[in-house]
Structure 1
Amino acid sequence: MSIPINQVIVFITVARTGSFAEAAIQLHLSQPALSVAMKNLEQSLGGKLLARTTRSVTLTPEGKAFYPKARRLLSDWEQSMQDVRNHFALGRGKLDMAAMPTYTTNILPKILADFHRQYPNIHITVHDVIAENVVQMVREERCELGITFAPEEAPDLNFQPLYKDRFVAILPDRHPLLDKQKLKWVDVLAYPHLSLQRPAGTRRLIDQALQEKGLLLTPAFESHQLVSIGRMVREGLGLSVVPSTSRVQMEEMGLQCRAICAPVITHQVGIVTRPQHELSAAAQALEQLIRATASKLCT
C-alpha cells in the first residue's frame, strides 16, 4: 500500500513538537484531520508509532526507529521536488544535442554562448558528427534534437526546416576563375576537384544534381572533413564546393568564396526531433535560440 507523503509529514511534525495541537497549528490542519492522517499511517505500517497520553506524545520503539528514516525520506522528496522545479525553471539540467560539423563550427558557438549567459547551470553536450549520424543519434534517443540537412529517408522523425543553404565554390587567392563575373560548375570542374567522401549526403546531392545536367564529378582528392578540403584548396591541390554556412570558416583560411550556378545546388538545414516526444524545458529554450538565429540568416 502506498503511503501519502503528507502522512509522513504529519508524523515527523508530531514527533518533533511532541504535541498534536502544536503540529496542527504548524501544518495548518484541524486536530481531527491530523489525527486521521496519523491513524491511517499507523494502520498502513501495522502498528503504533506514537504513545499518547493526556499530557504528552512520545515515540514508541518502532516510532523511534522510523523517525530518522522518515526524515531522510522527506528530505529526499523535497530535494526531488526542487530538482524538478529547477529543471522547469532552467536552473539546473543536462541536454544532449547532435549537429553536423558545418553548423557546430560556424553557427552553434554563438548560440551556446547566448544560452549559457541565460542558463548558466544547464550542461550541454554537443555531439559533433556527420549529418547521417545526427539523424541516427536522435532516432536512438541519444540526443533530444539534432541539426542536420533534410534526411532522405526518416519517416519516423520530425524535420523542421530552418534555412536553405547554397553551395559555394572555394578558391585560393589569385585563382584565374576569380576574374569571372559569373561562375558555373563547368568552369570549376575544369580544374582538379576536392570532394567529401561518399556516403556523405552532401556528396550524393551534388552528384545527383550534376548528373541531371550531364556533368560528371571525378574528384582528385577526397576527405571526410571540410576543414581538410579547405586546407588542400589553400595549398593549390584543386578547387571545391562547400555549404555557404562554411563561408566564414573558409575565408579565415584565406580562401575566396564565390556563388556557383548552372546548376544552383541548395539543401535545407533544419531541426530533427522524435515525434510524440516532448522536449525538455532546456531543449525548448535552446530550440528557440536556434530558430531566432536561423531567422537572421534568412533575412
Structure 2
Amino acid sequence: MTQFRLLFQFLAISRLGSISAAARELGVTQPALSRSVKQLEDTLNVRLLDRRAKGVVLTAEGLILARRVKLMDIEYQHALSEISDHHQGIKGRLRLAAGPSWIVHFLPNILADFSDRYPDVLVTLTHGPFSTQLDALLNGDCDAICGTLDFPDHPEIHKEHVFDARYTVYARAGHPLTLHHASPDDLNSYPWILLADDPISSSWVGSYFAAHRLEPPRIAIETTTLGCISLLRQSDCLTIFEAKAETSMQAFGLQRIEHDGTFWNFPAGVARRRSARASAAYRAFREMIRSHLESPHQ
C-alpha cells in the first residue's frame, strides 16, 4: 500500500505543479511530501522532478510515470464505478467526443433515449479537432470517440465499426446547384465553408478537385459546425457533410446537391481505449447505438 500512496501523492504534485499545493490538497505537510518524493525517486533510481522558483517541472522520467499513474487512477475509479453499478445499477459519467455528423444527426436521438433510460448517468459530449479527441482518449480523459475510423491503427485503440459513411455536398435550399446534377466545374465556381481545425475534410475537398484536374475552390470561411450550418443558410456557399445526415440538414434549411464523383468514403463507428474497462454506462450506450444505427433503415 505504501507504493500506491507514494504514486498517488506524486500524481497530485504532477497535476498541480507544486509540492506545497499538493501537500495542502492531500492534507500533509510539505516536508513530509518532499520526503515521499525522495523515497519514490530512490526506489526508481531516477529524478522525477526539477524544482523551480515557482513550483516543480516533471523530468522525462517523471512525465512517463505521471501518465501511467494517471491511467492507474482512472482504472481505480472504473473499479469503484463497476462495484457501484453492480450494487446500485447504472450510474456515473459517460465522457464522449464526437465528429460533426454525429453531433448534428446521429447522437441527438440516441442520447435523448439514453438520458430517459439512465437518468443517473451524466453524459459529457465534446466536439473539436480529431487530434485533440484522440489525445484525450489515449490520456484517459475521454471514454469513447464517435466518428471516423479512418485513422492509423494504434495498439491502444479498439475500433468498433458501425456503418460506412459518405460525405457529399450541401447548400441552402433553393441554391442554383440544387436544381440540376452538378459537375465538378459547377462545384468549383462557388465559395466554400469548411470546419476550422479539420485538415482531413480540407484535404478531401482538395483531392476531389485535383482528381478532376481543377484547382481547389475558394475557401471563404472556416468555422464551427453550428457556424457552418448558419452561414450556409444565408449564402450561396457549399460544404461537405455526411450523406446519411440529409434529414437533419433539411431541418436546418439545407439541401443535398447531386454531383459527379465522391468526396470521402470511410468507416464510421466508435473508438475506445483497449486497456480501459468498458463501464456499464458505456456498454448500455453501445447497445443503444446498435439499436439505432445498425438497423437496415440506417
Please report the TM-score for the alignment, with normalisation by the length of structure 2: 0.64
Alpha-carbon separation, structure 1, partners of 2:208 and 2:178:
23
Would you say how many aligned residue pairs link Structure 1 and Structure 2? 220
Superposed displacement of residue 147, structure 1: 0.7
Q: CA deviation at 1:243?
A: 2.1
Partner of 1:243: 242
In structure 2, the partner of 1:111 is: 110
Cross-structure match for 2:167: 167
Q: How much has 1:271 moved relative to structure 2? A: 0.6
- Quote the Cα distance in structure 2 between the aligned partners of 1:291 and 1:88: 26
CA RMSD of aligned residues (A): 2.9
Summarize the Cα distance change of 1:297–1:146 in structure 2 as closer, same or farther, 3 Å threshold.
farther
Structure 2 gaps, min length 5? 2-78
The residue type paired with residue 280 of structure 2 is A
Alpha-carbon contact 1:103-1:245 (below 8 Å) kept: no
Aligned counterpart, 1:93 = 92
SS of the equivalent of 1:162 reads strand
Deviations 1:198-251 (A, max 9, x none): 543222233234323423323241213233223322222422222225434432
Instruction: Show the 5 A alignment for 1:10-29.
Output: none
Against the structure 1 CA distance between its residues 83 and 240, is the aligned structure 2 distance closer, same or farther, given a 3 Å change threshold? closer
Q: Which has the larger radius of gyration?
A: 1
CA distance in 2 between counterparts of 1:150 and 1:274 reads 13
- 3-state DSSP of counterpart to 1:277: coil
Structure-2 change in CA distance of 1:215 and 1:257 (3 Å): same
For structure 1, which runs of at least 5 residues remain unmatched after alignment? 3-79
| 1:134 counterpart residue number | 133
Match of 2:179 in 1: 179
Residue 218 in 1 paired to residue 223 in 2?
no
Q: Spell out, residue by residue over 1:58-97, the C-alpha distance to the aligned partner (whole angstroms, 9 max, x if none).
A: xxxxxxxxxxxxxxxxxxxxxx999824356634222212
The one-letter amino acid of 1:90's match is G
Q: Identity over aligned residues, as a percent?
A: 18
**Deviation at residue 173 of structure 1 after TM alignment:** 3.4
The residue matched to 1:296 in structure 2 has which SS?
Answer: coil
Structure 1 CA distance for aligned equivalents of residues 152 and 123 of structure 2:
28
- Give the letter for the 2:182 counterpart: L
Alignment-derived partner of residue 279 in structure 2: 280
State the SS of the aligned residue for 1:223: strand
2: CA distance, partners of 1:104 / 1:297: 22
Partners of 1:97 and 1:143 within 8 A in 2: yes
Judged with a 3 Å threshold, the aligned counterparts in structure 2 of structure 1 residues 237 and 286 are, in CA distance, closer, same or farther, namely same
The offset of 1:133, in angstroms, is 2.5
